[in-house]
Amino acid sequence: MRPQTPEQATRDAIEHLSTLIHGIKVAMMTTVDADGSLHSRPMWTQDHDFDGDLWFFTRVRSHKVEELEEDHHVNISFADPARERYVSVSGRCQLEKDPRRMRDMWSPALEAWFPQGLDDPELALLRVSVQRAEYWDTPTLGASGPDSSASNLTFS
């Protein structure tokens, strides 16, 4: 093993996660409700160059935004059953209303959920800063016990 600086380790983790989630269009975002229960919902992913943050479009007035105001922890899970690839991303999430970034990230596929497009005053972004990721893919799956089969990526 070659010695690695923490910065290089983070860069490698970012690159690896970027490859793992590439092509998975919809992820499940889990949040914590006021009573402690956990909810998830499908969210359209952004295929822009991943640099340590994941981005999603959202409506400002929505249940998930309320939940995130109380508890900013999220899990984003990516499941690709056809390739037997599963990725769990743990992070913290915040709402951002950055018109320029929204323009950059907008894609026509989003019109199904946001018919008014970029003009929608309710439109905003959720930024997930990734703390940790775990993944299971074909070579790992089934290679060993369920708790030893995950590979870890740590972001600092």
Residues found near ligand FMN in the complex (CB under 6 A): 26, 39, 41-44, 56-59, 62-64, 86, 113, 136, 141, 146-147, 149-150
Range 25-54, binding its own copies (CB under 8 A): 25-26, 28, 30, 32-33, 36-42
Q: Which is nearer to ligand FMN, 118 or 141 (CB)?
A: 141
Q: Cβ distance 132 to 152 under 8 Å?
A: yes
Distance CA(121)–CA(62), nearest Å, equals: 13
Q: Cβ distance 80 to 24 under 8 Å?
A: yes
Q: Which is nearer to ligand FMN, 75 or 155 (CB)?
A: 75
Half-sphere exposure of 145 (CA within 13 A, CB side): 2
Where on the chain is the footprint of its own copies (CB under 8 A)?
24-26, 28, 30, 32-33, 36-42, 58-59, 61-64, 71, 73-75, 77, 79-82, 86, 88, 90, 112-115, 131-132, 134, 136, 141-142, 145-147, 149-150
